[in-house]
Amino acid sequence: MTRFAAVDIGSNTLLLLVVEEAGGRLLARRDLCRFGRLGQGLDKSGRLAPEAIERSLAIAREYRAVLDEEAPIEGLVALATQAVREAANGREFVGPAEEILGVPIQVVSGEREAELVFRSVVEAFPELAAGEVVVVDVGGASTEFIVGRAGLVQSKTSVPIGAVRLSERHLKSDPASADEARALIADIDRELAALALPRGAALIATAGTATTLASVAQNLRVYQADKVQGYRIVRAEVERQLARYLELTVAEKRHMPGLEPQRADVIAGGAAIYARVASVMNAPEIITSDRGIRWGAVHELAGGRYG
């Protein structure tokens, strides 16, 4: 069986996807998520923190062992996003990580990131992608906005706001104060004001904040990708969750069903982005995608041979 793999090195998580061709489709064999938090302190210092580098390199070693178990793999790609491309000392992570993984790490632009996210959405939701869609991929340090129509990208924008960055910048109290919450929303609204997001388009949300919203909405005590993929969250539920995240302490959030404890301190920043986007677009719901950059990358590696 033909196998492909992608490592997505983000500002909050490192993801590993290994897929195998079966019956003309790509099916996941391993789909792993670990929290390296490379974006820790980046907004303030402009650098990757030494402890964040060490955490992420340890995850790279774990992933290399998994890749060896899954051999032979026809194609492997490693992609790094906002934290690495922004940090003045990004090479301090990239060099050792390349030695561990055994492949060059592509430090991709925000536009390239957006292309891969959109590719994953087209493959996963062909009927939706045939119309007009807005895909929003909230990461730790940046958010990608892709407007698509008839399966083609119409515009793509990367904005330097994300779950980790905004939470560190604004939510310094535990729980957040009313002033901090207002500053968070105002910051997001300033960024969204520069974007032309069409009303009436389907709103598709990818990455960890989105899947967390879907998991919490369903009270999933154990993450289940099949229940998250394609799950529709009404806007009122997104706003309800945001209000809850802002009023609870981090310790209290860690015990919420569906919320991974490692996301508890940054979930409010990410949820606020989705809540404000849905409001600006007047979208009645958010459609959740469990697939993002990593899936776009493996479909690209496979050359479109498998739908």
pLDDT digits (tens, 9 = 90+) for 234-286: 999 999 999 999 999 999 999 999 999 999 999 999 999 999 999 999 999 99
What's the confidence (pLDDT) of residue 22?
A: 87
Q: With CA atoms as reference, report the closest residue to 82 among 301, 239, 248, 293.
A: 293
The values of phi and psi at residue 18, to 5°, are -120, 125
CA count, 13 A, side-chain hemisphere, 102: 11
User: What is d(CA 171, CA 155) in angstroms, rounded to the nearest whole number?
Assistant: 31
pLDDT beyond 70 at 288: yes
All residues at 6 or more sequence positions from 11 whose CB lies less than 8 Å from its CB, including other chains: 37, 38, 39, 42, 81, 82, 83, 139, 140, 141, 142, 162, 164, 165
What's the confidence (pLDDT) of residue 23?
A: 83
Report all structural domains of the chain as residue ranges with CATH numbers, in order of start.
3-109+297-301 (3.30.420.40), 111-289 (3.30.420.150)
* H or E element, residue 30: strand 25-35
Beta strand pairing status for 25-35 and 13-22? antiparallel
What's the confidence (pLDDT) of residue 305?
A: 62
Mean pLDDT of 99-126: 93
Instruction: Find tokens 């492949």 and name the residue.
Output: 103
The values of phi and psi at residue 75, to 5°, are -145, 135
Please, which residues bridge with residue 17 across strands?
6, 31
What's the confidence (pLDDT) of residue 133?
A: 95
pLDDT beyond 80 at 306: no
Please, which residues bridge with residue 149 across strands?
132, 152
Residue 177, token pair as written in the block: 């104060």
What's the confidence (pLDDT) of residue 13?
A: 93
Write down the pTM of the prediction. Answer: 0.90
Mean pLDDT of 166-178: 96
Q: With CA atoms as reference, report the closest residue to 14 among 53, 59, 48.
A: 59
Beta strand pairing status for 75-80 and 105-107? parallel
